[in-house]
Structure 1
Amino acid sequence: MHFITGGSFNGKAKWVCEQYGVNKFSNLWISAFKGSPMPNPSEHQFSDGVIVFEGIEYWVEDLLIYSEQEQILTRWREFLQGWQEWEKEHIERKVVLIGTDITKGIVPIGSDERTRRDVTGRVFQMTAKASSQMDLIWYGISQKIK
């Protein structure tokens, strides 16, 4: 599992395309930006290769509509575990998660926005811990974190 994070419009998707030779418009590029639901590995039959999940902060935002923070963290933990198991089934499989860092800067005044930011930060921490690789992308330049 490879976690990619960085600022908005800083070249994360382009970097992933170049590193993995994947096409952003393939069915193996699942984008929360485009309204794709959070996929469950047991419900989908993906071929071997690289699968990319983009915009994970949007899935957090969607989950906050009908779930409490602890429920979201539990669901995210299960999501990560399921995809780790999917990866382990075949050596050719790789999961790449892309999330825009929304945890820096001015703390939002509204409690809903603060909650969104806090839960997203926790989800990103879990994702970083679960990932074997992590890169930070700023202005198209990567910095290997893990």
Structure 2
Amino acid sequence: MHFVTGGSFHGKAKWVQEHYSASRVAEGWFNGYEDASWETRDFTTSLVVLEGLEQLVKKVVEENVIGGRAALRGKLKLWLDWEASEPDRRLVLIGTDIGKGIVPLEKENRLWRDVTGWFYQDVVMAAERADVIWYGLPQALK
């Protein structure tokens, strides 16, 4: 699994498109900004890109504040199991870094920010590769 993160509008998706020769309109590219229900779909392509990971976290936090991180870990395990079940499968997760800047005033937005940070830690630990994209430039973390 490959995790790609960075700030909003810093070129994460464009970099993934170029790195994997993938299209954002392809069957295996799921956009969480348009529809965050992709976490329950069966993937039918060998390359799956899940963009907008923080939107999934927001949805999980809104639906299940208690135990949200455990639910996200369960989703991550399902995705990793899918990737490991066939040798040619590749999973790419794209998540915007929402942990910098001003801390939100609203309790639910602070919780979303915290859970996103914790989940990204889980994702990075499970990832084979992790990159930060800032201003279109990649920096390998792992």
TM (norm. structure 2) is: 0.94
CA distance in 1 between partners of 2:118 and 2:56 (Å)? 13
Please state if 1:57 is matched with 2:65. no
**Does residue 47 of structure 2 align to residue 66 of structure 1?**
no
Q: Is this contact kept in 1: 2:36–2:55, CA < 8 A?
A: no
**What is the match of residue 30 of structure 2?**
30
2:89 is equivalent to residue 93 of structure 1: yes
**Residue 38 and residue 72 in structure 1: after superposition, are their counterparts in 2 closer, same or farther (change >3 A)?**
farther
The 2-side partners of 1:135 and 1:24 are apart by 19
Matched, 1:16 2:50: no
**Distance across 2 between alignment mates of 1:29 and 1:79:** 17
RMSD over aligned CA atoms reads 1.3
**How far off its partner does 1:119 sit?**
0.8
Picking from 80, 86, 98, the partner of 1:84 is 80
Which residue matches 1:123?
119
Displacement of 1:80 in angstroms is 1.2
Distance across 2 between alignment mates of 1:139 and 1:88: 32
C-alpha distance in structure 1 between counterparts of 2:36 and 2:103, whole Å = 28
1:105 aligns to 2:95 (yes or no): no
Which blocks of at least 5 consecutive residues in structure 1 are unaligned? none
2:132 is aligned to 136
Aligned to 2:7: 7
Aligned residues: 142
| CA–CA separation in structure 2 for the residues paired with 1:59 and 1:87 | 19
Q: What SS does structure 2 have at the residue aligned with 1:58?
A: helix
User: Is there any run of 5+ residues in structure 2 with no aligned partner, and where?
Assistant: none
Which of 27-36 and 3-12 deviates more? 27-36
Give the AA of the match of 2:51: E
Equivalent residue for 2:44? 46
Structure 1 residue 36: deviation in Å?
3.7
**Which secondary structure state, in structure 2, belongs to the residue aligned with residue 142 of structure 1?**
strand
Among the aligned pairs, what percent are the same residue? 39
In structure 1, how many angstroms separate the alpha carbons of the residues matched to 2:113 and 2:89? 31
d(CA) in 1 for partners of 2:12, 2:30 = 14
- How far 1:45 moved relative to its partner? 4.3
